[in-house]
Structure 1
Amino acid sequence: MTVHQTPVTSSVHLSTAAPVDPVVDPMVDRSADSTKPDRTQPETALHDEAVRRLKEKAEFRIHLVIYALVNGMLVIIWAMTGANFFWPVFPIAGWGIGLAAHAMDVYWKHEPTETEISSEMDRLRHR
């Protein structure tokens, strides 16, 4: 037994509506999503910079949590072995230097000013 399907048609006719062209006009830029706010070029650059900085801060927080967990486990291992010398100080200090450098890069990054950039360009020209 075969089933025959008939197309369902709507009884509503929109005589005032413009006909819908199924062909996409290649000259129309449809890359922008209509739900997103229209941003000017400087605002888009600012948005991208904000997203980049938020990602860097999230990466630093992950780094900090891993640092605390790993070094906490090393301290627990030291305490359980009953060693007299606090040997976890070496990985804590060594990794701590890297963690501090990461924090400085994320939170205290110095963006060069136009004066500094032009000064450096002049220095490179006169080598």
Structure 2
Amino acid sequence: MSTEKLREEALARLKHRKGLKKQFQTYVITNLTLIVIWALSGQGDFWPAWPIAFWGLTLLYQAWSFEHPDKPISSQDIEREMNRMKS
């Protein structure tokens, strides 16, 4: 891999990591705000659990897919698929 290509890939990964960090900060601040609203509104059923859980799951998926990216499609993969399509 050329130095320029490696640099571009490193820059893309750094931008993605920075974006994930910002999303996590937004997640924490927003959910703390929801918990405060819940506490000030007389509590009751803990409804902030829903956005906390589902938004948290999407963040976990994004972080996992960042650390475990799909491998690029190789020439061998293409040949294998072509042979499979022929039969």
TM-score calculated relative to the size of structure 1: 0.59
Q: Which has the higher contact order (CA 8 A, sep 6+)?
A: 2
Asked if 1:120 is matched to 2:77, the reply is yes
Query: For 1:52-109, what per-residue CA distance to the aligned partner results, in whole angstroms no more than 9, with x for missing partners?
Result: 1100000000000000111110000011112221110001011111111111122x12
**Unaligned 5+ runs, structure 2:** none
- The correspondence for 1:97, drawn from 57, 79, 83, is 57
Q: How does 1:37-116 map to 2 (within 5 A)?
A: 42-106=2-66, 108-112=67-71
Q: Which runs of 4+ in 1 moved over 6 A?
A: none
Aligned residues: 84
More helix by share: 2
TM-score calculated relative to the size of structure 2: 0.83
Q: Identity of counterpart residues, as a percentage?
A: 30
**Unaligned 5+ runs, structure 1:** 1-40
Shift of 1:118: 4.2
Alignment partner of 1:77: what SS?
Answer: helix
- The one-letter amino acid paired with 1:124 is E
Q: Distance in 2 between matches of 1:123 and 1:69?
A: 48
**Which structure is larger by alpha-carbon Rg, 1 or 2?**
1
